[in-house]
Amino acid sequence: MAAGILIIIGTCAGLYYFSRRVSVLIEAKLNAELDAKTQELQMSSAEAETESRRRDAILNSMFDGVIALDSSLNIILVNPRICLLFGHAPEKKVRNMSLLEFSHSAELDEAAQTVITQNQPCELNLKRFVSGNEQHFQVYAAPLQTLPPGVVMVLRDISRLVKLEQIRTDFVANVSHELRTPIQVIQGFSETILDSPPSDTEQLRYFAGIIKRNAQSMESITTDLLTLVSFEDETTARPPLEKAALTPLFAEASDAVLFSARNKNIDITTDCPPGLCAFVHRSLFVQALVNLMDNAIKYSGNNSRIFVSAFQDKDTLLVEVKDKGIGIPAEHKDRIFERFYRVDRARSREAGGTGLGLSIVRHIALLHRGTIEVDSHAGEGSVFRLRLPL
């Protein structure tokens, strides 16, 4: 009996120690697996966080605006660029805001709705006005493959490209218009000479003079156009700014327009302190002076005076060209530095102007990191001010 009890006790003890050991082994194994899973989750979480940061970095650095929407066209995600384009501060909470509320654009809302309905991408050009300024966007919208499906839209601001294309179109139209008249005149008088040769030399000289003047007009337009193109080409090599005494440059510019001034008996008075110096492109500075003085001569009456002066205003060189000519009406003052813009086209052509002189002056001012401005009243003359940093 006692022996049986001992056997039972021994068996129970053995089973206990055996089960204890198995339990410890299982627990150790479970802990190892749990640790491995924890490390795996931590790595996955770190990778997800890294991926999220990478995605945010890419979105934040994009020049294009990006917006992601759910099936109800409410915002899931935006990047700072699109917030800037539509006047929202990047830190503003726009999540869950509707696309219409965010953009105030029925066209964008309609395009997003079409993508949701048809499950097909679409493209469109969008034009909107902000504070009186016209903006143009190229928009690409595509289905967002989520459950439920959404929409992702990418907006590229093409306002500058549209403006440049308009400038190019206007430029071509203006060049064609400006060259058409002298070409027609040259062609007409050439045909007259060939078809019906004048009987006397004086008439022939008269016709030849007209042809020559129009050919010179075409040459002037071509020369000024090439000058503007060289200014606008950023790859054009330019000499460095150099410190120069301005008095000799003023004298050089005055000599260049002396013949035109004498033809109209116009007196040019210059006032430039002998010691005044500035860092300039010498030839371009002289060209700007010549253009301003020539412009003053063209639009001043006979027997009048033109005053040209230069002085230092704090850290700025201020050059003024003042005349008592016909002046400029207020509605034209903001546009006279545009290419081919003329207040009076007929008078400008008669005076031999190309419509490019003031535009060239503006480009020369920009090359010197300066500005050009005008103060003028119709019938009272004009004052052109060239401001360049010293």
Which is nearest to 293 in space by CA: 308, 311, 278, 303? 308
Nearest to 137 by CA among 125, 145, 149: 125
Kindly report the pTM of this predicted structure.
0.55
Q: How far apart are CA 257 and CA 293, in angstroms?
A: 7
**Packing angle between helix 201-232 and helix 159-195, nearest 10 degrees?**
160
Q: Are 75 and 108 in contact (CB under 8 A)?
A: no
Residue 364 · residue 285 · CB < 8 Å: yes
pLDDT of residue 16: 61
pLDDT at 279: 86
The counts of H helices and E strands in the chain are 11, 12
According to the model, what pLDDT value does residue 18 have? 58
Kindly state the tokens that stand for 181: 């008249």
Q: How far apart are CA 213 and CA 216, in angstroms?
A: 5
All domains in the chain, ordered by first residue: 60-157 (3.30.450.20), 159-236 (1.10.287.130), 238-390 (3.30.565.10)
Q: What is the pLDDT of residue 58?
A: 61
Residue carrying the six token digits 């000599």: 255
User: What is the side-by-side order of every strand in the sheet holding 371-377?
Assistant: 267-271, 305-313, 316-323, 381-389, 371-377
In this structure, are residues 364 and 284 in contact, taking their beta carbons and an 8 Å threshold? yes
| Amino acid 10: pLDDT | 63
Amino acid at 72: S
Quick count: other Cβ atoms within 10 Å of Cβ 87? 12
Residue-level pLDDT, tens digit, the chain, 390 residues? 566 666 666 666 665 665 666 666 666 666 676 667 666 666 665 555 566 566 556 656 566 888 888 888 888 888 888 888 888 877 677 888 888 888 888 888 898 899 888 888 888 888 887 766 788 888 898 888 777 888 888 988 888 888 877 777 767 777 776 677 778 888 887 888 887 777 778 888 888 888 888 887 777 777 777 777 777 666 666 767 888 888 989 998 888 888 888 888 988 888 888 888 888 888 888 888 988 998 888 888 888 888 988 888 888 888 889 988 888 777 777 777 777 776 665 555 555 566 778 888 888 888 888 888 888 877 778 889 889 887
Residues in the chain: 390
Per-residue model confidence (pLDDT) at position 275 = 84
Backbone angles phi, psi at 292, to 5 degrees: -70, -40
